Amino acid sequence: MLISNDREELASAALAKVDALHTGLTQIVLEGGNLDGIAAEVARVLEVGVAFTSTDGRERASALPEDLRSALDAHDLVDPTGRLRVERMDGDGASVGPGEARSLRVAAGGVDLARLVCLRPGEPLSSDDVHALERAAAVAALLITREEAVTAVENKYQGDFLRDLLMRRGGLANDQAYVAEHAATFGWDLTRPVVVVAAEIDPVAGEERAGSAQRRQWQERFSAAWRQVTGGLGAGIPSVDFSSEVVTLLPLGGAGDGPGEEAPTGHDVVRRAVTAVAGDKGGGRRPFSVGVSRVAWTLDELSAAYAQARRAVDVGRRVQGGGSTTFFDQLGLHRLIALIPEEENGELRSFVRDVLGPLAEQTSEAADLRETLQVLLDTNFNVAEAARLQFFHYNTMRYRVSKLERLLGPLSTDSHLRLDVAVALRVLEIAG
């Protein structure tokens, strides 16, 4: 009888704790609190470490002391960019010494909104703890739904404003004082030199085409990732979802005083941002490609910079494939080829056929010879070096050179012909 009474008392105490936690969390939401407040309350009541993350593990709010963060890191539950590996903590959780770390869905209306990560390193979570965490996740879902409704409206206004500025609509670029003042209401600083970064989610070969709702969810998560990462790089950085792309204006630390100074490339700051957004590809992250403009020193240069970023992401994806980060200044000849309008691609293809002849065909033999031809051009027709690079016998390479010259002309002696061929190969990379 005594044991039964003890069990009833423990169950009653656990239920009271859950109800008290739920009441406290609801009060936090009603009083305009945030996820940090919810995390702190859950951590205090359950005596655990708590973090709210995006669905793929980017931290949004937390009550995680440094010793608990170190415990997660020591058990390989944090990737090099700081993302919590929530996919390893799903279900029954992951062992952390004698205790565990567990990830719970924060969802509303069947839509994943976030993850609640809980860590207790000393002992496993009890069923009562899990029940309390599920209550906390439900309350957090209410808060996140409210925040996302507000954020969606803000993003719409921000997106319209930045798009008008980049497309030079409504005379915005001519009224720089108004632009700076209006941007300041969004918390943006447009008075610094920036590079425009355009990022697009890549299609995955062989993957079944997702529905519009799924694609929108991917895009929203992608946009949120850029906002979160750029927010960590500094204050006042615009990062906006343009439906099919995310456009970010990254300021350059240590930029020169003006156009007379040597313009910084911004490679370091861009690559740092791209690496942080990509993470280790865990948690359902989608692959993406990035295009980066030259430095825009003034508001007047933003429109051209946006066009450069768009061109860089398009050419980079065609030439390098998905997952590329392409800087406009590094496009070289591709930059000029990409300037030709789409409606004149027929002229480009005609040029390729005229110069390359049968090597322009989409056959394995033609592709093989084009590869050899490119190596020869790269080595200035040094047959011995080209043979070494392609792992051919010297006589085999000599035979290939003879075949190429029968098809295309005296490549080894005619520098003008070599230039035409080199350009045609570059056109083929872009225009197909």
Q: Are residues 109 and 185 in the same domain?
A: no
Q: Are 178 and 138 in a shared domain?
A: no
**pLDDT given at position 201:** 92
Q: Are residues 269 and 347 in the same domain?
A: no
Is the four-CA dihedral 184, 186, 189, 195 of positive or negative sign? Answer: negative
154 located within any domain: no
Say what the pLDDT of residue 7 is: 55
The C-alpha atoms of residue 279 and residue 285 are separated, in whole angstroms, by 8
Answer yes or no: do 230 and 329 share one domain. yes
Q: Report DSSP state, residue 413.
A: T
The 10 Å Cβ neighbour count of residue 145 is 14
Evaluate whether 398 touches 382 at the Cβ level (below 8 Å): no
Q: Looking at residues 337-349, what average pLDDT do you find?
A: 68
The confidence score (pLDDT) of residue 431 equals 63
> Over the stretch 396-408, which tens digit does the pLDDT of each residue have?
889 988 998 888 8
- Residue 101: its H or E element: strand 99-108
Give the torsion through C-alpha atoms of 328, 332, 335, 337, to 10 deg: -160
CA–CA distance, 294 with 273 (Å, rounded to integer) = 17
Query: 177 with 287, same domain?
Result: yes
- The parent domain of residue 77 ranges over 2-148
- Domain assignment present for 87: yes
How much is the pTM? 0.67
Collapsing DSSP states into helix, strand and coil, what is residue 200?
A: strand
Q: What is the rounded CA–CA span in Å between residue 46 and residue 126?
A: 11
Alpha helices in 31-175 (DSSP H): 35-46, 66-74, 127-166
Answer whether residue 80 shows pLDDT above 90.
Answer: no
Does 239 share its domain with 279? yes
Q: What is the CATH number of the domain that holds 100?
A: 3.30.450.40
Q: What is the pLDDT of residues 232-285, one digit of tens each?
A: 888 889 999 988 899 999 998 644 444 444 444 568 889 888 988 887 766 667
Boundary residue ending a domain (292, 314, 338): 338
Measured from the Cβ of residue 151, the count of other Cβ atoms closer than 10 Å reads: 15
Number of compact structural domains in the chain: 3
Residues 308 and 176 in one domain: yes
Last residue in a domain, options 308, 338, 368: 338
Rounded Cα–Cα distance for residues 235 and 240 (Å): 15
Return mean pLDDT, the chain: 83
Nearest residue to 48 (alpha-carbon basis) of 63, 70, 27 = 63
Instruction: Give a yes or no: residue 399 inside a domain.
Output: yes
User: Ramachandran region of residue 185, left (φ > 0), alpha (ψ -120 to 50) or beta?
Assistant: alpha
- If asked whether residues 324 and 415 sit together in one domain, one would say no
Percentage of residues of the chain with pLDDT beyond 90: 18
Kindly state whether residue 153 falls inside one of the protein's structural domains. Answer: no
Whether residue 283 is found in the same domain as residue 423: no
